[in-house]
Amino acid sequence: MRNDRISSVTLLIVFMTLASIGCTPSGQSSSQSEAPPPASSPTPKVTGVELVDDPLDVPYVSTPNQVVARMLQMANVNSKDFLYDLGSGDGRIVIAAAQEFGARGVGYDLNPKRIQESNENATKAGVTKLVRFVQGDLFEADLSGATVVTLYLLPEVNLRLRPKLLQDLRPGTRIVSHNYDMGDWQPESVSIVEVAGKKHYVYYWTIPEKKRGKTKSGR
């Protein structure tokens, strides 16, 4: 009985040692890296991430001004538009739309520091009558009045957000995303902006007409 106990303890120690170095008893690694699924469009690496105090869905990475200009150009923003920027950071997209085109805009961001910075930037730009910034969850944003939606989110967040955009936005609403697409929802156009030797991708969609549900009779 004593030998059985010693053998059991020995086996337990060996197993725990193997697990601590990431191996199974068969000698194979317990954590294997899997190749990412093929993307329908280029997926640039995220660089220059600014760490924030609270864990958020999306780290803060500012959009270069040249890319902002291309996003607004592709969306054909004008003074009649109501632009929503989801994950608005320092507010530069909303503010640029107001400054350059006289468009109204709302920015949503979870980080209170970004909201404070956005309001300060809007004051400096003299567009506080046209824009406002909301500290809140972009998945709960009221998008009913939007004519343009701009995004700079991570790929998985874009995919999670896609059903809300298709459900909440009116047909014809323009959507522009910096660097990341929406999976199998193919963009109508893609533009490349090169800044400091790095390529930035801008994707453009419009919300399609909603299909009418069939009645029980099939009519």
Instruction: Render pLDDT for 79-96 as a digit per residue (tens, 0 to 9).
Output: 999 999 999 999 999 999
Range with lowest mean pLDDT among 5-9, 143-147, 150-154: 5-9
Q: What is the pLDDT of residue 144?
A: 85
Q: Over 50: is that where the pLDDT of 164 sits?
A: yes
Which of helix, strand or coil describes residue 19? helix
Higher pLDDT, 34 or 8: 8
Which of helix, strand or coil describes residue 38? coil
Q: How many CB atoms lie within 10 A of CB 165?
A: 20
CB < 8 Å & 24+ apart, contacts of 209-218? 209/171, 210/171
Q: What is the pLDDT of residue 59?
A: 61
Cα gap 158→125, rounded to integer Å? 29
Instruction: Please tell me the pTM assigned to this model.
Output: 0.71
Domain 65-206: homologous superfamily in CATH: Vaccinia Virus protein VP39 (3.40.50.150)
Closest CA to 86 of 156, 161, 155: 161
- Say how far residue 209 (Cα) sits from the centre of its chain: 24
Q: Over 90: is that where the pLDDT of 39 sits?
A: no
